[in-house]
Amino acid sequence: MVIRTATNALARIAYCADLRITVAGVPCDLRVYALPDEYSPTYPMLLSRRWLQAVKAKGDYSTGRYYITSGRGTKVKIPSDEKYKRIVRETERGRRPRVPIILRDREAGRH
């Protein structure tokens, strides 16, 4: 499989994982793709247009506030970076990480 990256490069993908991510308390099931090291990704995970569509993301660029919609239709404000860091510290104490399901693209090379 080949995907176009955020920097417009074409990347051959050998691995992907099905994950449930939660942003601001709103869960969403996504398939994420692992980029080879040669692309030097600058972010651990970039959320795709599919995620933006799934959570009906809206941005208020004049105020710098962003909103997503929960499965119940409730509008949820995305916390600012500082508030987010505090929330992550509080919720991850004592939590065991989940192991993702890894799928191999059989059409990709052995690397």
Give the model confidence (pLDDT) of 73-105 as tens digits. Answer: 999 998 766 655 665 566 666 555 555 555 566
- Start-end of H helices in the chain: 49-54, 81-92
| Strand-pair partners of 21 | 28
Q: Distance between CA 43 and CA 65 in Å, rounded?
A: 21
CB 66 within 8 A of CB 60: yes
Give residue-wise pLDDT tens across range 5-26: 777 888 888 888 888 888 888 9
CB 40 within 8 A of CB 28: no
Q: Distance between CA 108 and CA 1 in Å, rounded?
A: 7
- Per DSSP, the three-state class of 81 is helix
pTM > 0.75: no
Q: Distance between CA 57 and CA 59 in Å, rounded?
A: 7
